[in-house]
Chain A
Amino acid sequence: MMLDFQRYQIAFTAHIRNPTAHKKPAKVPDARMAVYREIVFNNIFGSVSACFPVCKSILGVRNWRKLVRQFFSTHQAESPIFREIPQQFLDFLKTTKNFPAYLKQLAHYEWIELVISTQQTEVLKLIKNPDLLNEKPVLAPAHMLLEYDYAVHKISKRYQPKPKEKTYLLVFRNAENIVKFIELNPMTFELLRLISENNMAGKQALERIAEAINHPDANTMIKFGAEILADLANQGAIVGSMK
């Protein structure tokens, strides 16, 4: 059962969340209530905006503010952790109509940078002289393979793709704790997927791909793949290998 002071609290926050739909509690001075209307929304607006600068620039400040206000007034954020506010916003976007699909994917792409930059990882025991073909290549501890229907990494206020364009990305945090994105071709994406999800050695994964696409010469494929893996190791995306 709700207590009297709690009924007041809920009327108080309902008004802060959506002042046009909910009147302020009775006998509360409007000038003072305005302080809460501003600081609470501005705080959330700042947290959300910091994570989605490209989405914000495409929508323009006015529409962006409207969207964040809609989030604040309709979505009950579940996490007390500040870093997770953008994730709550993303959950809200999934349920929002009239928000173009490419912008939803762009928002996800912008959010992933925050996720990877702050993801907790464990220290790995790696082999000193990695053999990326005969052992399982190990990707940077904080990484993700991403598949989008649009070229999210190219979207800006000036470039807003109408046609779909299948896009594969590897995002990872390097040894200096900096987040990097690498665009992948479909074959490299599949290679890394087999390695990281199916725990395959480099050569095993390349043979599997050659077989799947009926490649006439698996050895050419392996040679080509070895170069790709070495290049990814050079960029810090692959940190070593494991038996």
Chain B
Amino acid sequence: MSTLADIKGTGLGLKRELIPQIQALYQNPLIENINFLEIAPENWIGAGGKAAVELAWFVERFPMVCHGLCLSLGGPDPLNVEFLKQVKQFLSTNKIPLYTEHLSFCSDIQHGKAGYLYDLLPIPFTEEAVHYVAKRIRKTQDILGQRIAVENASFYVAAPISSMDELTFIKAVLDEADCDLHLDINNIYVNSVNFGFDAHAFLCGIPGERIVYSHVAGHLQVKPDLLVDTHGENIIGPVWALLDKAYQLFGAFPTLLERDLNIPTLPELIPEIDKIAAHQARHSLQQPKVA
């Protein structure tokens, strides 16, 4: 059983490949900086057998967070209320205190029928979209009976119909929905390269008081001006610098390492988690600057 207060320090995204390794190193000082774990509800809801046994094992031993992929907060089809009820039940059964989602969409309507595409697609940044997404976030929070946090997503195509920049859009949605922020540091960097803006200036504009926790990850450089958010590489220098700046601005908030592709062994991942913890330790000694 864990509460929001247990989501602290450093965490790791729980991928299948890592399950036996974490189990084998449980309570070993080598992994002492894995304070919490994150799972996608879309991978675990309704799963029996081996998965259910594993989930029960982790829920008993680690604070857990649900980070969703398919709620489609910006989707043109109706919000999937049935699915949200399943999420609510899943959170309650497994005593998971936090559910976060993406500021993106992953479903559409074609031939009059709703359907999933199972990937994170960019919402055009317009006034109408702000109201629409905020309304769906509020509805989500009403159904769950708890606040959610939304993550700033990475993307590759800027909608020509957008009437505001990403930061303005994020702030407007957070204000209107009155929800929390799941800050993805790597996504700020990826988008700053893909769309040519200043990542540090962007970070300074973030409403720090809404941050519940953050993500860091590696990405793939396809071209000098195109980064793809694969979570398949090590974290690069500029992203570490951005994380450091964020701690300086807002204090050392909880931070989780995402690794979804080219997953190395756990002992190879640990140095990145330890490095996050070292950054946090440095900043927890000083008061955050209020931006």
Contact = CB atoms under 8 A, between A and B. Distances in A.
Contacts of A81: 42, 45-46, 70
Interface string B120-148: 01011010110010000000000000000
B132 A13 contact: no
Nearest to B126: A5
Contacts of A2: 76
| Chain B interface main SS type | mixed
Given A4-B161, A9-B108, A85 B49 contact: no
A4 to B, nearest CB: 6
Given A33-B157, A177-B53, A9 B128 contact: no
A4 B119 contact: no
B157 A77 contact: no
Interface in B143-161: 156-157, 159-161
Interface stretch (A23-31, A127-135, A162-170): A23-31
A20 interface: no
A47 B119 CA distance: 12
A32 B51 CA distance: 37
| Chain A interface main SS type | helix
Interface stretch (A36-44, A196-204, A205-213): A36-44
Nearest to B83: A80
B287 interface: no
Given A27-B160, A32-B156, A80 B121 contact: no
Nearest to B47: A118
A29 B49 contact: no
Nearest 3 interchain pairs by C-beta: A76-B115, A120-B48, A80-B70
12 contacts: A4-B128, A5-B161, A6-B76, A16-B117, A16-B121, A25-B160, A43-B118, A78-B114, A80-B72, A82-B40, A118-B51, A121-B48
